[in-house]
Copies of this chain bind each other. A is one copy, B any other.
Amino acid sequence: MSGRKIPVAYFSVKFVLNKLKILSNVRVVLSHTTHPGNIGAAARAMKTMGLEQLYLINPKHFPDKQAVAMATGADDVLSNAIVCSSIDEALQGTVFVAAMTARLRDISHEVFTPREAMPLLAQHAVKQPVALLFGTEMAGLTNEEMGKSHVLVRIPANPAFSSLNLASAVQVACYELCVAMDYAGFQLQQPAVDLAKHEELERLYIHLEEALKQIGFFKTKSANKLMLKLRRLYARARLEQEEINILRGILSAATEYNTRLSNKVSE
């Protein structure tokens, strides 16, 4: 009977357990959410796709009964949600950050569709924590948030009306992640390299900025804008721990050389 398709439970128990284990490495990070109802609806959207790690950066109202009302059964995701006071706290320990954006940016990171980005995210989640980052309902991502992400992800949308509801965007992203894993199935391989953790990257950027200040590099340039461009470059490179050590070694050598030189000059 060609064309006929009987519904079957198409995943083995082992696969489902494996999938849930990988999904437990995926954080959904909501930054500065205004409406608590959106947090609840996002929790429900996550749970329907098997995601449970919710991180909230300075939510305007939380906990809140509107959040519970909109979660309709995903209360556990809400009650286990981790409220953070900074993005660094929310991203601590993650090795890959995909930030959802509705806009095409002028200074832009790599921009992927969900279908392109989610297999990457799933792959890194096999071993280590990763994050899906969502900006506020109105303004979206800040430059700081973009600067701490590896890729931007844009849901293809109607050019004349591209603003998805926050929970709808969470639903689409989590759905694509799940489907990506279903298609990859057991072939989901360990990533080829171990990416550096968020906090190691941040330490590199601090070191880099200090070094650039010391050598007077920012004199005629905006430090913030330049640091964002450097973040974009290194985000694209997907730095490993060892590479961060090398880069920081170079920075240390350069500044020490500089210090020695200054000392000699002032002798």
Would B172 and A175 count as touching, CB distance under 8 A?
yes
CB of A216 within 8 Å of the partner chain: no
Tell which of B48, B156, B159 touches A182, judged by Cβ atoms closer than 8 Å.
B156
CB of A165 within 8 Å of the partner chain: yes
Interface size range of chain A in the complex: 35 or more
A41 to B70, CA, bound (A): 13
C-beta contact mask, A72-83 vs B, less than 8 Å → 1, else 0?
111000000000
Majority DSSP secondary structure for residues of A touching B = loop
| Chain B residue, CB-CB nearest to A152 | B7
Question: Assembly of this chain: how many copies?
Answer: 2
CB of A205 within 8 Å of the partner chain: no
A236 CB, nearest partner CB in chain B, Å = 6
A226 to B65, CA, bound (A): 47
Would B7 and A158 count as touching, CB distance under 8 A?
no
| Chain B residue, CB-CB nearest to A183 | B115
The residue among A6, A7, A105 with the most chain B CB atoms within 10 A of its own CB is A7
CB of A253 within 8 Å of the partner chain: no
- On chain B, the residues within 8 Å of A157 by CB distance are 48-50, 178
CB of A168 within 8 Å of the partner chain: yes
Would A4 and B236 count as touching, CB distance under 8 A?
yes
A179 to B111, CA, bound (A): 16
CB of A197 within 8 Å of the partner chain: no
A69 CB, nearest partner CB in chain B, Å = 11
- Other A-B pairs beyond A73-B163, A156-B179, 17, CB < 8 Å: A3-B110, A4-B110, A5-B112, A6-B108, A7-B108, A7-B111, A41-B165, A44-B164, A44-B165, A44-B168, A47-B158, A47-B161, A48-B164, A113-B179, A165-B171, A167-B168, A172-B172
Can you offer 10 A-B residue contacts whose CB atoms are under 8 A?
A4-B110, A48-B158, A48-B164, A50-B158, A74-B161, A113-B179, A156-B179, A156-B182, A164-B171, A165-B171
Name A residues whose Cβ lies closer than 8 Å to a Cβ of B: 3-7, 16, 41, 44-45, 47-50, 72-74, 104-105, 108, 110-113, 115, 154-159, 161-165, 167-168, 171-172, 175, 178-179, 182, 236
